[in-house]
Amino acid sequence: MNAKMNLNLFARVLAFAVLMTAWLAGAQNASAQEGREPEKSLFPYIQEGNLHYIRVAGSNAYWDYSASDRLFYDDPNAAVIFSLDIPEEAKGSIEDSALEALQAGVSVTTERGEAVPFSVSGQNRTYGLVLGVQLQNAPSETLIISFTSREGQHRLFTLHYTKTFAYTISSQQDENVRRAFDQYPGGIGIIRGYVVGKPYTFQIEFNMEVDKSSVDEVLRQVFPAEIGSWSLSWNSDTSCELTFQLDGGAAGKYVMVHMSGAKGVSGNVLKDSHAVAILAIKPTRIETYDFATHEHELLFDTEAYMETAELSPSGRWLLASERVENPMSSELTFKVLDRQGAVVKSAQFGEMAYPVWLADGDTVLYMKGEWARTEVWSFNAATGENRLFWKVLEEMDGGRLAALAADPHSGAIAIAAGQHDDEGLFTYDLHVFPSMDADMPHVYEKVGQYFCYEGPCLTWVNFIDEGKLSYSSIKRPDGERSTINNTYVLDLATGSEQLLDQADPLGQENGSLVIYRGLIQDMFVRIVQRPDGQEVWSVTRVGGEADSSEPYTFETNEQLLAAGPIRLFAQPPDKLALYAGSSGWHTIDLHHRTFEAAAEMDWYPSDTVKVLGPAGNLLLIGVSE
């Protein structure tokens, strides 16, 4: 760890310790201390009975001790924070000279008396006092921190060195458990979906002998009785197997399996941010629902966790996803399944991102890479072939992908790619291939713009009709920029652009809030919520043989968004299906200009159905009862 990082860590820990002292002491206004004799010596407060706590902070964790505890450190640049228990009546009368004298009396040595480099800093506030000792490349051995008063009195604190207390969690049942524990790669949180009522086993390995009773205590907190049952089998003093079973009532809840708080036999406490995130799920049957015939078809039963799913245009394959958490947002990892649920291809984070089915019904087009993605690949589920389709041009310095789209009718492919300027403005071109076999795309330059400072920096682009693309951009027809994205339609034949919807700068209209704007295939939907909670929906056909380009607008006081989250699906040629959680299904008919509840679609109680995704004229659902 470099010196700058050490100082930043020290400052953060010291500031936190000041706030902690205020909380522990029950801070009061210092004005009540006026007229008290100044506090000339702070040495009495460093004695055992007059310390709130001692905090030892390493690079990745901290430990809080009482003055009588055995103290440990594992970082040669650790910060040791002493929080002094100063009476309320004395807090406002501490002189700077008293704090300076306390600091001047600090020394750090080894047990052999060799001096150890350090720095010392104190913060005196009306609500408390903390003093921090920052080690500097201390040797890996026992240290003595000594406080000496002006009168020659000594108070010694022994700091025992220990190697970093660490552990791992893995599973022979599920290879992704270790990836989930490691937050692989680069801070990615992988969520494991585990079926209630089924036993699972994790292997836990510590790097030092552990107090087994402390592990039991941690697991009692991880698995309270209402979540499930667990048992522990020890293979050695450092290795054990955890077997657990989630209760049916835990379905839909998250469990964080970790060992933070376990103790080594010497008394040091494990402080670690690693954990395995588990989502309790029920066995699910994957069905299709036909909007036209209202018929269901069972595809397969599964115990796998699915966040979304989408059938290929041919109906032969299923593209299923699981959610992962990156440091800035949620993303999805994907699997390609056959119609019986067998896995054809499984991809980790960064190996398959933002995939789209091509018109041939067998091929998935996807981005590859973790953050600044630059390559587009294809995977053919029928042949198992992977191949590079396109990559960002080398002359586009710092360029990256922003979106993929495929026309399910013509087979055309659109790729958005661009780059940032110094202000964080991302400008992208559209590269449109007439088919998968085309060698060269037609490039529409500088089509869209938006600000993005970190993360994947993605936008959305969609084919809404043969020969037309929708896209988003903050540019306005007058040449100025909006603060949020506007929606445009690009005619590929002429290159002309049509502004479909311009966003209000604050997302507000006359006291109402614009809470949804987006395209569902060739229907543009805008939802405005009034101050009284009533919703105004506007739906406009922007492609195909629309009866009218005028929007169909309706008002509802059902507060569908509050019942959500909502899901919208196109029902060709001129209907929109709306699923709004506890409010059930509704149908928006643009031809007859009606909005009504769709009782024929309320197949099961809403808490047993998960709407996974569209599949042409079909809808994919997961049913767990």
Q: Quick one: pLDDT band at residue 38, thresholds 50, 70, 90?
A: very low
Domain membership of residue 613 (yes or no) is no
Tell me the pLDDT tens digit for each residue of 524-550.
888 888 888 788 888 888 766 554 567
Q: Which token pair is 624?
A: 């767990």
CB 538 within 8 A of CB 526: yes
pLDDT at 416 over 50: yes
Structural domain range at position 51: 3-161
Q: Of the ranges 11-25, 203-217, 298-312, 407-421, which one carries the lowest mean pLDDT score?
A: 11-25
Q: What is the 3-state secondary structure (H, E, C) of 447-509?
A: EEEEECCCCCCCCCEEEEECCEEEEEEEECCCCCEEEEEEEEEEECCCCCEEEEECCCCCCEE
Residues 154, 43 share a domain? yes
Looking only at the bridges linking them, the beta strands covering 535-541 and 552-556 are antiparallel
Per-residue model confidence as pLDDT tens digits over 84-99 = 877 766 666 677 788 8
Domain assignment of residue 292, yes or no: no
- pLDDT score of 582: 78
Task: Give tens-digit pLDDT for 122-180.
Answer: 876 655 688 899 999 999 999 999 999 888 899 999 999 988 899 999 999 998 899 88
Upstream peptide bond of 565 is cis (omega within 30 degrees of 0):
yes
| Mean pLDDT to the nearest integer, 331-348 | 90
Among 161, 190, 209, the domain boundary falls at 161
How many residues appear in the chain?
Answer: 625
The identity of residue 381, as a single letter, is: A
Q: How many whole angstroms separate alpha carbon 20 and alpha carbon 2?
A: 27
pLDDT number for residue 34? 41
Q: What is the CA radius of gyration of the chain?
A: 31
**What's the rounded mean pLDDT across residues 317-332?**
79
Among 248, 280, 312, residue at a domain's last position: 280
Tokens found for residue 479: 């040449």
Question: Is 356 part of any domain?
Answer: no
pTM of the complete model beyond 0.95: no
Q: What is the pLDDT of residues 377-402, one digit of tens each?
A: 999 999 999 999 999 987 777 789 99
Using CA atoms in the order 15, 17, 18, 24, what is the torsion angle rounded to 10 degrees?
Answer: 150
Q: Which range, 68-77, 137-146, 150-159, 597-606, is most confident? A: 137-146
User: How large a percentage of the chain has pLDDT more than 90?
Assistant: 40
Residue with tokens 């306390």: 102
Q: Which helix (H) or strand (E) holds 19?
A: helix 3-25
Instruction: Tell whether 100 and 189 lie within a shared domain.
Output: no
Residue 24: in which H helix or E strand, if any?
helix 3-25
Asked whether residue 348 is assigned to any structural domain, the reply reads no
Q: Note whether 61 and 28 are same-domain residues.
A: yes
Stretch 570-579: mean pLDDT = 83
Transcribe 315-328 into DSSP letters.
SSEEEEEEEEE-SS
Q: Could you tell me whether strands 609-615 and 618-623 are parallel, antiparallel, or unpaired per DSSP bridges?
A: antiparallel
Is residue 202 located within the same domain as residue 262?
yes
Contact 128, 27 (CB under 8 A): yes
407 contacts: CB under 8 Å, gap ≥ 6: 359, 413, 414, 463, 466
Query: Token pair 């080894």 is at which residue?
Result: 110
Domain shared by 90 and 17, yes or no: yes
- State in Å, rounded, how far the first CA of the chain is from the last one: 53
Statement to judge: residues 9 and 157 lie in one domain = yes
Q: Where are the alpha helices (DSSP H) in 91-241?
A: 96-104, 176-182, 212-222
Provide the mean pLDDT of the chain: 83
Q: State whether residue 558 is helix, strand or coil.
A: coil
**Total domains present in the chain:** 3
Q: What is the CATH number of the domain that holds 216?
A: 2.60.40
DSSP 3-state of 268: coil
The set of residues, in sequence order, having a beta carbon less than 8 Å from that of 606 and lying 6+ positions away, is 581, 582, 584
Residue 256 lies in a domain: yes
Amino acid at residue number 556: T
* Residue 588: strand pairing partners: 576, 595
Residue 524 belongs to a domain: no
Q: For position 8, what pLDDT does the model report?
A: 44
C-alpha span between 270 and 167 (Å, rounded): 9
Task: Identify whether residues 124 and 55 lie together within a single domain.
Answer: yes
For residues 154 and 177, membership in a common domain is answered with no
Indicate whether 397 and 473 sit together in one domain.
yes
| Burial (Cβ within 10 Å: 0-12, 13-18, ≥19) of residue 222 | buried
